[in-house]
Structure formats: C-alpha cells, structure tokens
Amino acid sequence: MDPTPFAAETLPIAFRDEHLVVVHKPSGLLVHRTSLDAHETRFALQLLRRQLHQRVYPVQRLDKGASGALLFALRPQIAATLGESVRRGGLKRGYLAIVRGHTPEEGAIARPLGQRRDPAEPSGTRDAAPRERDDDQIEAGTRDALTHYRRLATVELPHRVDRYPTSRYSLLELRPATGRRHQLRRHLSHASHPILGDSTYGKGRHNRLFTELFDSRRLLLACVELRFEHPVSSQPLIVTTPLAADFAAVVDRLGWTGDVPGHWLERDR
C-alpha cells in the first residue's frame, strides 16, 4: 500500500521559474504540519515538494480555510531574501471576501493585534465567537495592524437571521498593509463585518444560512493577487489566482460576477 495516499495530488501553479513558485491553494488545506491540527494528513508544503520533486520553502501564511495565491521559494537563500522583503512590507497582497452587512464604500481598519496561536477551529454551530479581550491592545507582543478595504458589491437577502427581516452582505477587496496572524478575519470581526464561513471569529447563524442557500462550507476569503519584487532580477511581479470554483459559485448566485475584476474571476466557468 502506498504510504503517501495523496502523493498524486497536485496544486495548480500560477507562476514558476528556477527561483520561486506560486500555487493556488484550495480551501481546507494547511500550508504545513501543525500540532494544533494534528489529525490532518494533507499539507501544501508536502504536496508541492512531491509535485516538483524538490524541497520548497513557504514564504507567507495563508489560513487553512482561505484559498488562493501561496508563495514558495525553491532555495533557502531565495527564501531568506523573500522573507526579508515580507518583513519590510515588500509583499503586497490582494484578497476578496464576502462579509456580513453593508460596509462603507472604502476605508481602513487600524487596530493593533496581539500575538496568538491558531485556535482550534470549532464546529461553527455557535451563534457568535468570543470577542478579543478588551485589553488586546496592551497584550505582550501586540503590533500595529492596518487593513484597507474597498466595497465592490452589496446584496440584501429576504431571510431573517438576526432581528431584522432581511440579511445584508458585501463583497470586499482587501489590501492588508501588515501581515499579522488572522489579521483580516480579526479586523473584519472587530468592525462588525465578519467574513462568511469563519467559524472562529464569525457568526454561526449567517454561516449556516450560506450553507443552506449556496451549499457553501468554506471560509469566503481568497488571496487573488501577489505583488512583489523578484528576489534575483528585482523586476516587479504581479501574480493572480482567480477565485476557486466553490467561491466563484457563491459570487455568481449573489449576482456579483460582473463586479469582480476580470483577472480575479475566470469568466468561462
């Protein structure tokens, strides 16, 4: 019996040269092993290593529930160069997310975030996740965090979830200026616009509505674009990964396909 049953599984490659590779990570896949999700047996790091037949080195984080662009270096020296660029803010990321409520047309969320370990993902059946502590800003290891957002579309569904007879949702483009752990999910939750499908920082009743209406069982957050300087040539790179089919299907059901920039959505799905 093959001791690595997922060995034949491959990840879509958005960009590759002799120095680095960007893959399209699906929702539900961890980047690498973690004791906090000990039951998992599939990891992007191992899948890509087997796919390329060489060692790879992750450069960025991408939550298990999120999908989209994930950058790896192909040599330790390149990983170190890219890692330093990330620390200097040289990796610019663009995300799409579906959130609860109608947000302003654009804005920024500036809220320091304390360091924290990945919480174990709950079942998603509770109605509200606990808020961050009121003294979060003075936790040991707290660092400034800034997220810019732009609203692309809104919808109002004729379904009562909370106290109102209808439920409102927004499609957002997110541009984090910093890269703190769970930054987008924590910032949007703090702003009372949690990301749909987030069982840790979101609202269970809204998550269940999306499951019932759209059969959506994932975090509706995707990294659709990476911008950075090539670590060897110093040329600017822009790598895009269109929305995964399960995310794009929800966008289509909400009537938002025309609101997503063309390079972030495969129109011929």
d(CA 228, CA 76): 18
Angle between helices 204-214 and 245-253 (to 10 degrees): 90
Q: What SS3 string covers 144-156?
A: CCEEEEEEEEEEE
Residue among 181, 219, 168, 213 nearest 198 (CA)? 219
d(CA 22, CA 64): 16
Rg of the chain (C-alpha set)? 19
Examine the residue annotation and report whether 17 is marked as an active-site residue of this protein.
no
> Helix, strand, or coil here: 181?
coil
Query: Which residue of the set 2, 17, 37, 63 is catalytic?
Result: 63
Amino acid identity at 154 = T
> Helix, strand, or coil here: 190?
helix
> Helix, strand, or coil here: 258?
helix
In Å, the largest CA–CA distance within the chain is 57
Q: Which residues are catalytic?
A: 63
